[in-house]
Structure 1
Amino acid sequence: MQTAHVVAAACLTMSSVALAEQTSVNGTPRHEESESLLQEIIVTASRREERLRDTPSAITAITGANLETMGVQSFRDYASLVPGLSQRDTGAPGLGTIILRGMNTGGQQTTNTTAYYVDDTVFTASGFLSQGALVTPEPELAEIDRIEVLKGPQGTLYGASSLGGLIRIVTKKPDASEAYGNVRTEFTTMSGGEEGYMIRGSLNAPIVRDKLAIQAAGYKRSLPGFADNVATGTEDANSSDLYGGRVVVRATPTDDLTIDVSGLIQNIENDGYSYESLVPGTQRPLYGDYKYDHYRNFGSSLKYRLANATLTWAGLDAGSLIASASYAEYDVNTRSDATSTYVPVAQARAPVVLGTAIPANTGALANPSPSMDKFTADVRFVSNRMGPVEFMGGVFYTQEDSVYDIDILLQDRATGANLPSPLDLLYHTQTTSDYEELAGYGNLTYFITDRLDIQGGIRYARNEQRASIRGPNALYAYVSLPKLEFPFEDSQSTYLATVRWRPSDSISTYLRAASGYRPGGPQTNSNPPPGAPLLIDPDTVWNYEAGVKGTFLDGALSTNFSVYHIDWKKIQLNALDASGVLLQTNGGDAEVDGVELELIAQPISGLTLTANAGYTDARIVSVLPGVSTATGARVGDNLPLTPEYTVAFTADQRISLTNDMTGLLGATLRYQSDMPNNYAASTTAAQRTLASITTVDLRGGVEFDRYTIQLRAQNLLNEHAYLSVANNVATVIQPRSITLAFSAGF
């Protein structure tokens, strides 16, 4: 704790990660050192273009160029740069649960509390049984203009499942005025592991000058493995391949009309997981660092697909009309060793149900596979300022189909072959969730003076769900069970109110109150006991927040500060009744208090210092007895996998070497305090808390003409630490890596 206080205090003397890498020319970054970076960032989080400094809410904006400079390659890499953002990391790219401001309920959570958008395309499943919290998209940086992380519920503008906030990927757009492109290669070596590489190309080309352009990017990234599977003798078993691309066409037939049509694909192939087996009940390695013992080399495969068309018409005197239609889908197949959990079940049930015993040396393969396809349409009108008033109104529609298959297969551990039928299939279930929503939303800002304004917003949404469990040919421990279907419909209103005061051109302050919700659904227990809820209500949050944003010292120092309190009601949780029947219910309440600080300082020419600090206290304030029995949660427990303190520093110095050559030096320090791994009563004391993590990255390079060469060292001190622990297996952070990168613009 003393370390946390020292690092947090140091933040007050330094400077943030809303650092903007300004525009680029012919694919090569252009740096402007004298301007205030925070002041100049333009964000669209409020569904209209605004300077980040003027937006009355907590937002962190990070550009794709800066992420690449810092060597960010994964969601965890950039999450650790953002106050209040974390992840339930499951050990492979593309998987995991996004957590904002502590809003998560532990390993049993399967639906989202943080929404994920790519431009106007919703990539978040909303259905009560959608299992959408199991995936985390990993966009390639060539496709990104910036990432906007919106803190606190975004229910009025973005709808369901944004209890903690929203991550919005803003992609690059074509330029019809000139042709340019970029190629980049990277070569990486991992301490104690293997080598990896990345190759990528992007091109912007006018088709009709100033009227029509196309932009395309494609890439292949091979991430080196470093974890060894001692059971199979495979070294570096967790390597991954990510590949895909994006194409977007922009047409501007008139000055007032813009049409964007885009498509994106990404495939991820994970050969294994960054696991480490532990001595049962402890956090001591069982076989040594970065070693685990799956009886086969299990992995996962993920496919992400996205298509969007957006029309923006600014030809009305009163404002702009924006219409967007999107299609998004993901298809995920995961495989893991579940022997310790399910083989004892099979050994007990097979003699009773099938009249035969399970052979010795049997292993269990768990094969959970969520998938979703989602169509979304949004039409909104964004007004210009009309005297003392500006407003926005829109209509939103989405229809999604989610399927979650789980198979537990019994296999011969030595060969990996399935046991003879019917011993091979222990469990087979299919959960479906068809979700349809129609919503209307609007907000209005009234300017009392040019420096003082108030805003109110409301969204009304109605959804219909058709859910099922078990699916066709369902098996539960060798017993066939019928498919069950559940209809459900619900409506919910969310609200927003802000007061913004700008005492000067360089300072903006605000007060904000906002609500959000996560859709409810049907009770899926086939025979609920008397008094059990038949419908699960939405869980809701109210977020109360105050913030200050400003630039000082003639733009040499920029600040972004917020303090907040969240009330989370009717949390959707599992519970056990007195007879031991597992139920879903609205099982408790939680509160979150937090402080977030971002600073940027440019004390001398060419030097940029940034700092982030976050404090999050997320705790349970009430819980039903049955929930405590099922989950181990108790009043006063902190919500899992949210560190109390997080800090990130960066320092980047540009040094003029010659008229044509610039040297680049930089460093990143990340720190997170210890955090609860799970609820206190659900795990051993030794696995209850995960230790703090401190990592250091260094980077250096040169720019000349259109070329950049960079050498990066990530996790320079080779910190060994755990991100989560379950079933005596830890997810471990990546060891030290050295990367040489070369890029060329043309």
Structure 2
Amino acid sequence: MKVRFNRTHWLSSAVSAVALCASFPSLAQDRPDGDEQQPSSAGAAADAKDQAEIIVTASKREERLQDVPATVTALTGDTIENLGVRDFRDYATLVPGLSQRDLGAPGLGTIILRGLNTGPQQTTNTASFYIDDAPFSPSGFLSVGSEATPSPDLADIERIEVLKGPQGTLYGASSLGGLVRVITKKADPSRLFGMAQLEAMTVAHGDEGWAARAAVNIPLIANRVAVRVSGFYRHAPGWIDNVTTGERDINSSIIKGGRIALHADVSDRLALDLAGFYQDIDNNGGSGQANVKGTTRPLYGKYKIGEIAGTGGSDIRYRSASGTATYDTDAGAVVATAAYVKSATRFIEDYTPSYGNYLSLFGIVPVGTQIVGQYGPELEKFTSELRFVSKRLGPVEFVAGGFYTWENSQYPFGLLARDATGTPLPAPLDEAFFVRTHSKYQEYAAFGDLTFYLTDRLDVTGGIRFAHNNQTVSQDQGTVFYGPYAANSTDFSDNATTYLATVRYRPSDQLSFYARAASGYRPGGPQTATALLPPNAQSEIRSDSVWNYEAGVKASSADGTFSGSAALYHIDWTDIQLNTIFGGITLQGNAGKAEVDGFELELLARPSANFTAGANVGRTNARITSIDAAAAGSLGASSGDKLPLTPGWTVAAFADHNVPFSDRLAGTFGGTVRFQSDMPSGYPGSASNPSIKVPSVTTVDLRAGLEMEGYSLQLRVDNLFDTLGYTSLRGGALYPGQPVPTIGTTIRPRAVTLSATARF
């Protein structure tokens, strides 16, 4: 049952709470904050130079962000908390070159980095997602991993690192465009501390929601062993109404989970980190709005859709356990990691407009039959890695190691037929179509990156990774058209080698120039419909690959007041895995080439200890340069067409100002402007679902707060002007002219959030 709040009362209570905290600064306790953040007055006067010294582990060694010879965007935990970032969609618009094929709910969609994406038909990842050293993205050719974007709660993390361009030598398969790493906070044996947070939100045109988060760090053996426990529960409000059933705010979500982490300094040289994580996401529906076919005009009105009862929702489950052992030697560190990840995603969709009318048109099911789609990828994945990370040894330093992964995935897809009352039709029509794909994937890899210092200011790096994978794929299916198919099984194996070369010149500690060339690959695999293969069709699909060439500069002033980075890049993508048509059958094939040109700019200014402003700009020109006739006929794509769902321009600009009222109380004020240019939804030549221009969108966020020693209160208004914007547009027609609506995935309308945090 949904509980609805009186909005006027809710907002007046929020304002009263802010005034109350301002009136009683003595409530703040005279002790430092325990969770890596200083009290408000100290934070307002923090040394800007220290803020610039962000340490990242993108190259699997700790180094300053400024020194990494690659494009990396890092969002610190403080930035995430200040901006109220909770889901992937919240931070994607802050990172140049990062976007998503958004499926309309937390945990769903396809990560797109630097435009490497082929549209709705893409089933495997071109960008990877990691939590610490645990990869959450599957690599198998038929794993259908592109349906899900992991969306862990971001309340207890150290930072997010977004690595741009292929990361093949250190991170392996399926990181063609790069990867996203969520770095969690480790347990700290030095002291006891914790935090608790309550949050309330109301969304225009929609519902109210709330969230609770807590974390505690407990030393078990002083300065040796500690455990960190965190948990979260969030009711994310919805704003989409279903005109068919009369339900309101159907896209609300319940997100809950927790994490436990153990850190042990076993000796002066040996450290052990263990972690367990779980998360459940229950989406009642998606944020799709029904539009007039082929347009962005609402069909039923703003934020409305028409779906039959019991559809539109999704459930996502994550379970993971990981461990890292680090042994320091005089020459470097031996690092051993292992991780087990289990995930399951289930969708229930209304396919009546597409399949119901189509099947009834041919007399297969009665007119008025409802068709419900049930599908979703499931994954078990184990990975381990042993690497040596050297110290500077004279003129050289290096990272070298071995990697192993095993994954078992399956993808069931079914179409269930019901009458107008929701009752299943008699067998065999109750299950109009069913297919389940099983995929097992194993990979062995050896890798190494070697840096040679020609001088202390000039160095070169070369890297190589050799990987071998084995896959076994089986499929069973049945339809009302052909009857059941016998299960079939196919084996496949492949080798891949990726390379890295960089040159870096650092004339000073505040200035760095670099040039980089790197390659990456996405595994190939076998066709599944082997019994139906025409003579000229591919029986095995090769891995596709990219080469990324970029040059960049990173700079900061001596006192850290100003910093910035800029990069220009060019990407060649070859042997692209695309849907093709052979003899009237849609199959996979290596069928095209693409190029991407772009640049990324990040600027940050701290003219005083109390004021920070910045801007991130991305330009991406991703287009097909050649395509086989078989793929062009299937997709409606031609040479020169833009790759779908990548905006040409993205801009995010922000400013924050602290106002110290006293030594123990400070106010904070800030805002963010985000702009995303228009982009194509698909390919213009598609016969059934031609591309629609997704309009550009600009949003403004404002925030204000009070900070005391150990306490903070913040009021945020996101999408201040209540802009209706889309992250994607998709059609569901099976044949040209089929009268189905276009579904536009909407951004969240204006949202007002009050957040209260206590730290001890």
Matches within 5 A, 1:232-311: 232-298=245-311, 299-311=313-325
Matches within 5 A, 1:282-681: 282-298=295-311, 299-314=313-328, 316-347=329-360, 351=364, 358-413=365-420, 415-469=421-475, 471=476, 474-475=478-479, 477=481, 479-526=483-530, 527-552=532-557, 554-577=559-582, 579-681=583-685
Task: Give unpaired runs (5+ residues) of structure 2.
Answer: 1-31, 732-741
**Alignment deviations for residues 614-654 of structure 1 (CA, whole Å, 9 cap, x no partner):** 00000000000110110111100010000000000110111
Code of the residue aligned with 1:96 in structure 2: it is G
Match status 1:708 vs 2:712 = yes
Indicate which of 92, 117, 124 corresponds to 2:130. Answer: 117
Q: Secondary structure at the match of 1:468?
A: strand
Q: Secondary structure at the match of 1:335?
A: strand
Matches within 5 A, 1:159-174: 159-174=172-187
Deviation at 1:434, TM superposition (A): 0.2
Deviation at 1:340, TM superposition (A): 1.9
Deviation at 1:71, TM superposition (A): 1.4
Q: Secondary structure at the match of 2:652?
A: strand
Distance 1:476 1:113, change over 3 A: farther
Contact 1:38 1:551 in 2 (8 A): no
Deviation at 1:345, TM superposition (A): 4.1
d(CA) in 1 for partners of 2:687, 2:48:
51
d(CA) in 2 for partners of 1:687, 1:376:
39
Distance 1:655 1:665, change over 3 A: same
Contact 2:70 2:516 in 1 (8 A): yes
**Alignment deviations for residues 176-201 of structure 1 (CA, whole Å, 9 cap, x no partner):** 01000100000001101110000111
Deviation at 1:34, TM superposition (A): 3.1
| Residue of structure 1 in register with 2:161 after alignment | 148
| Residue of structure 2 in register with 1:27 after alignment | 35
| Residue of structure 2 in register with 1:70 after alignment | 83
**Alignment deviations for residues 90-112 of structure 1 (CA, whole Å, 9 cap, x no partner):** 11110000000000000000100
Q: Secondary structure at the match of 1:465?
A: strand
d(CA) in 2 for partners of 1:421, 1:529:
32
d(CA) in 2 for partners of 1:186, 1:477:
52
Contact 2:428 2:480 in 1 (8 A): no
Contact 1:217 1:247 in 2 (8 A): yes
Distance 1:88 1:37, change over 3 A: farther
| Residue of structure 2 in register with 1:694 after alignment | 698
Matches within 5 A, 1:191-210: 191-210=204-223
Q: Secondary structure at the match of 1:157?
A: helix
Deviation at 1:422, TM superposition (A): 1.8
Distance 1:186 1:498, change over 3 A: same
d(CA) in 1 for partners of 2:558, 2:654:
20
Contact 1:550 1:560 in 2 (8 A): yes
Contact 2:356 2:368 in 1 (8 A): no
d(CA) in 2 for partners of 1:524, 1:229:
38
| Residue of structure 2 in register with 1:7 after alignment | none
d(CA) in 1 for partners of 2:48, 2:612:
11
**Alignment deviations for residues 105-133 of structure 1 (CA, whole Å, 9 cap, x no partner):** 00000100001111111111000000001
d(CA) in 2 for partners of 1:474, 1:160:
33
Q: How many residues align?
A: 712
d(CA) in 2 for partners of 1:628, 1:244:
44
Code of the residue aligned with 1:645 in structure 2: it is W
Deviation at 1:683, TM superposition (A): 6.5
Deviation at 1:347, TM superposition (A): 2.4
Contact 1:38 1:52 in 2 (8 A): no
**Alignment deviations for residues 194-233 of structure 1 (CA, whole Å, 9 cap, x no partner):** 1000011100000000010000100100001110000000
RMSD: 1.4
d(CA) in 2 for partners of 1:450, 1:38:
25
d(CA) in 2 for partners of 1:240, 1:589:
39
Match status 1:721 vs 2:734 = no
Deviation at 1:68, TM superposition (A): 1.9
d(CA) in 2 for partners of 1:399, 1:374:
6
**Alignment deviations for residues 685-718 of structure 1 (CA, whole Å, 9 cap, x no partner):** 9952111010000000101121101000000100
Deviation at 1:554, TM superposition (A): 3.0
d(CA) in 2 for partners of 1:323, 1:686:
49
Contact 1:96 1:133 in 2 (8 A): yes
Contact 1:430 1:474 in 2 (8 A): no
d(CA) in 1 for partners of 2:710, 2:327:
36
d(CA) in 1 for partners of 2:584, 2:520:
33
Deviation at 1:28, TM superposition (A): 6.5
Code of the residue aligned with 2:606 in structure 1: it is Q
Q: Secondary structure at the match of 1:78?
A: helix
Percent identity for Structure 1 against Structure 2: 48
d(CA) in 1 for partners of 2:506, 2:416:
62
d(CA) in 1 for partners of 2:602, 2:758:
32
d(CA) in 1 for partners of 2:241, 2:361:
32
d(CA) in 2 for partners of 1:476, 1:283:
36
Deviation at 1:283, TM superposition (A): 1.6
d(CA) in 2 for partners of 1:553, 1:390:
27
d(CA) in 1 for partners of 2:49, 2:481:
63
Structure 1, 62-71 or 690-699: larger mean CA deviation: 62-71
d(CA) in 2 for partners of 1:37, 1:465:
48
d(CA) in 2 for partners of 1:251, 1:130:
36
Match status 1:215 vs 2:228 = yes
**Alignment deviations for residues 475-496 of structure 1 (CA, whole Å, 9 cap, x no partner):** 3646211222110000000000
Distance 1:49 1:359, change over 3 A: same
**Alignment deviations for residues 261-316 of structure 1 (CA, whole Å, 9 cap, x no partner):** 100000000001111111122221000000000011420100011100110000x2
Match status 1:227 vs 2:240 = yes
Code of the residue aligned with 1:333 in structure 2: it is R
Contact 1:506 1:551 in 2 (8 A): yes
Q: Secondary structure at the match of 2:259?
A: strand
Code of the residue aligned with 1:239 in structure 2: it is S
| Residue of structure 2 in register with 1:19 after alignment | none
| Residue of structure 2 in register with 1:42 after alignment | 55
Contact 1:143 1:246 in 2 (8 A): no
Q: Secondary structure at the match of 1:681?
A: coil
Q: Secondary structure at the match of 2:637?
A: coil
| Residue of structure 1 in register with 2:22 after alignment | none
Indicate which of 171, 175, 200 corresponds to 2:188. Answer: 175
d(CA) in 1 for partners of 2:508, 2:317:
49
d(CA) in 2 for partners of 1:686, 1:460:
40
d(CA) in 2 for partners of 1:70, 1:477:
53
d(CA) in 1 for partners of 2:288, 2:422:
20
